[in-house]
Structure 1
Amino acid sequence: MPLALIISSHVAGSRVGASAQAAALVQFRIDSMIVPTVLYGRHPGWGIPGGAPVPIELIESMLDGIEANGLFSQTDMVITGYFATAAQVRAAARSIDAVRAAPREGATPQAPARKPTVVVDPTMGDAGKGLYVPAEVAEAIAAELIPRADVVACNAWELQHLTGTDAREPQAAVRAARLLNKPTLVSSVQRGNEIGVVYADRKEAWLAAHAKALRAPNGAGDLLTALYAASILEGQTISYGLARAVGGVAETVTAANIWNAPELPIVAMAARIKQTSPTVRIERLA
């Protein structure tokens, strides 16, 4: 069974961060190991969250315990998200290196094992909010995690912050993504009355778009990252993986609005997040 290491926030009362991603990955029979960077009661968007950042010593100790149990050798995917301190970012970078260096069971020169995939969500800010982590955290993410990423999963504002290039509309997002020189998933891309997600690498680029929702609960980006990560582990094509991931998010946001739910109903939408949505259109950009 595939195994993911998620290093991000744990928020007890909101469907965001690592716990939201783990709930989504379960639907694809992917187990998760969560190393929390913060322990909050609710998303800060609701007000004072309660809880606190996790001390770096505790994070490092948890990672040491996972490694000591031989689980780095079994890790198929690493997902990073929210960090409260630059020291946490550096600990995540060291763990990525350790996961990649860990020997894979059953691997031979003739049949090498599949390498773990690293998905970095550079959680640092958003349009209308600006940078919402300390500047040193954003700098550490750019310096330590982006170079280690196999896929970068960011919103348009974060991509612009990383590259200094506008990324708000589809073709601009493609140009900005290619400056990272990494396969990149860009959310919150606008085109008229639509909102969508752009995927771009050196060879191809795609847009999955749908009508804008009146309201989107927190955590849509975290859910998108998890759903696209699942498609990588399944070996899906880029276009199908993107369409399915965006469809799962769109259907979950729509359900939240219909049910007037303040949080994303990820578990309730278990069957739908594994399917494409008729509300999402897929378009090749390059």
Structure 2
Amino acid sequence: MPLALIISSHVAASHVGGTAQASALAILKIDSMVVPTVVYGRHPGWGPPGGAKIDPATLEGMLAGIEANKLLGQTDLVLTGYFAFPEQVTAAAHAIDAVRGAQRKGYGGEAARQPVVIVDPTLGDAGKGLYVPAEVARAVAGELLPRADIVAPNAWELAHLTGQDVRTPEDAVVAARRLGRPALVSSIAQGKEIGVIYAEPSQAWMAAHPRLPSAPKGTGDLLSALFGAAILDGLTGSYALGRAVGGVAETVAAAHAASAAELPIVAMAQRLKATSPSVRLERLA
């Protein structure tokens, strides 16, 4: 069974961060090891979250325990998200290096599968700006992005990281390619649709669906998890994009229909893996 290492937030009453990702991956039969960067009662968007930020030494100790059990060599997927301190970012970077450097064994005569590292630079958003300390943003850009197989920013974060305007799908493709690695860019508005772009050096695709008036928090976290799961299933980037965006779109639509304040991830079950008829896939380059 595939194994994921998630280094991100744990939020007890909100389906965001590592909490949301572990739930989604469990449905897709991927086990998770969640190393929290914060432990909150609720998303800060609801008000004071309660809980606390995790001391970097504690986070390092958790990662050391995982490594001592020789689980980094069995890790197939690494997801990183929200960080509260730059020292946490450094610890995550070292963990990624350890995952890649660990000895791996194939099964049934097959070659060992190489891990996939998806870095979601959870730095800020349109209308809010940077919502992590500037030193955390610099650490993510300097230490995690160079280690990523796939970078998964929203449109605002992509603009922040590259210094380019990201207003259109074409802008997003140009900016994404400046990152120097495949990118999964969310929150691309186009008319009455909202889309996600997956850009590689040789091609770029957009998966778009009708935009609803509002959506619960955590859609970017869910997107990264579903995309990573699709890649582990052997899908190419474009097919992984369509499946992952379909799962997010279906979950947001279910939340909207039920007037739910949080993403109903567990209730969606295998619909997370089904192609959504509401998603339009378009090749951009």
TM, length-normalised to structure 1: 0.97
2:248 paired residue number: 249
Amino acid at match of 1:43: H
**How far apart are the structure 2 equivalents of 1:20 and 1:111?**
32
Does the 8 Å CA contact 1:168/1:188 hold for their aligned counterparts? Answer: no
Taking the TM superposition and a 5 Å limit, the aligned residue runs for 1:114-153 are 114-153=113-152
**Aligned-partner Cα distance in 2 for 1:87–1:156:** 26
Structure 1 stretches lacking a partner, 5+ long: none
Report matched runs for 1:1-286 at 5 Å. Answer: 1-106=1-106, 112-286=111-285
Q: 8 Å contact 1:157–1:168 — kept in the other structure?
A: no
Normalising by the residue count of structure 2, what TM-score does the alignment of the two structures yield? 0.98
Letter in 1 for 2:199: A
Q: Residues 89-110 of structure 1: CA distance to partner in whole angstroms, max 9, x if unpaired?
A: 0000000001110101248xx9
Partner AA of 2:38 in structure 1: V
Contact 1:56 1:87 in 2 (8 A): yes
Q: 3-state DSSP class of the match of 2:176? A: helix
Contact 2:28 2:270 (C-alpha < 8 Å) held by counterparts: no
Distance across 2 between alignment mates of 1:211 and 1:12 = 30
Q: 1:269 is paired with a residue of what secondary structure?
A: helix
> Quick check: 2:106–2:113 contact (8 Å CA) kept in 1?
no
TM-align CA RMSD: 1.3
Deviations 1:41-95 (A, max 9, x none): 0000000000110011110110000000010110001100000000000000000
Alignment deviations for residues 224-283 of structure 1 (CA, whole Å, 9 cap, x no partner):
000000011011122211111111111111111111111000000112111111111000
Q: Does the 8 Å contact 2:105/2:111 carry over to 1?
A: no
8 Å CA contact 1:223, 1:249 repeated in 2:
yes
Which runs of 5 or more residues in structure 2 are unaligned? none
| Identity across matched positions, percent | 66
Runs of 4+ in 1 over 4 A off after TM superposition: none
